[in-house]
Amino acid sequence: YYRRASEIVREVDSLADAVRESSGDVRGRIKLSAPRTFADAPIGQSLIDFAKQHPDIVLDIHLDDRFVDLVEEGFDLAVRISRLENSSLIARRLAPFSVRLCASPELIAKHGMPVRPQDLGRVPCIIDTNGRWLTNWPFKGDSGDTVTVSVSGPIEVNSPMAARAAAVAGLGFSILPDFIAAPDIESGRLVAALDDRILPGGGIFAVYPHRRYLPAKVRVFVDFLVQWFKTIDNA
């Protein structure tokens, strides 16, 4: 009963948005779920830029690395960084996403540069427990197939930012989102390894439930993100 009633309320809100949109008045509150990684990284600036450009829309941002249930928890939409699985949600791709295997120059000097993925089983690694792989890291094998390497190390943490800091400190090899690793690779604090063995990445997506009427405020927000990432890519 609650679920159906919530859907009816959202439909009423969507109709009200449609009326406001027809008069050129887009306002309201957007309840957004996003990973902490997204908000903490430079791409999180997209949320700030939207709020500056649309002062009549309130962004109610909930940072959580888990996949929330948009309908059950009353979210208008979510930003997800992933390989998108089959879903009942509508998804718009905002940007490509890939990962890098990185370590500090000091750690590489001590343990050597891995030549094959299997070499990682003999060196310390930093485990991001938010990732789906945990201690079994997938790579392209010698014949192009997918191989899984069992890894271990001194730190397991549910934060790519903390994993990045641990890698910079020389505690181990880490698989990091490219947008987090890039500044440290460019500065020389981290060195990328096995780039040719990294599996193709997924993407950064805006996802939202199927609705008869997509609220204007949500459409405006998603369109803004699409254009924001295009601008970044072309910069």
pLDDT band at 233 (very low <50, low <70, confident <90, very high): confident
Measure the CA–CA gap between 117 and 132, rounded to whole angstroms. 18
118: containing domain: 99-197
With CA atoms as reference, report the closest residue to 176 among 149, 198, 197, 151: 198
Q: Are residues 70 and 156 in the same domain?
A: no
| HEC profile of 37-68 | HHHHCHHHHHHHHHHHHCCCEEEEEEECCCCC
Q: Are residues 6 and 67 in the same domain?
A: yes
pLDDT at 10 over 60: yes
Average pLDDT in the chain: 89
Percent composition of the chain: helix, strand, coil (DSSP 3-state, to 5) = 40, 25, 35
Most confident of the following: 22-26, 187-191, 202-206: 187-191
Average pLDDT over residues 13-25: 56
Q: Are residues 54 and 78 in the same domain?
A: yes
Helix and strand numbers (H, E) in the chain are: 7, 12
pLDDT at 13 over 80: no
The pLDDT tens digits for 45-68 are 999 999 999 999 999 999 988 888
Q: How far is CA 114 from the centre of its chain?
A: 27
Q: Are residues 110 and 38 in the same domain?
A: no
Average pLDDT over residues 170-192: 96
Q: Are residues 134 and 222 in the same domain?
A: no
With CA atoms as reference, report the closest residue to 42 among 169, 178, 166, 167: 178
Q: Are residues 153 and 82 in the same domain?
A: no
Q: Are residues 149 and 180 in the same domain?
A: yes
Q: Are residues 228 and 140 in the same domain?
A: no
User: What's the CATH code of the domain at 181?
Assistant: 3.40.190.10
Q: Are residues 86 and 113 in the same domain?
A: no
Q: Are residues 189 and 221 in the same domain?
A: no
Q: Are 206 and 50 in contact (CB under 8 A)?
A: no
The pLDDT tens digits for 74-124 are 999 999 988 766 567 899 999 999 999 999 999 999 999 999 999 999 999
Q: Are residues 115 and 192 in the same domain?
A: yes
Average pLDDT over residues 211-224: 88
Count of domains for the chain: 2
Q: Are residues 165 and 210 in the same domain?
A: no
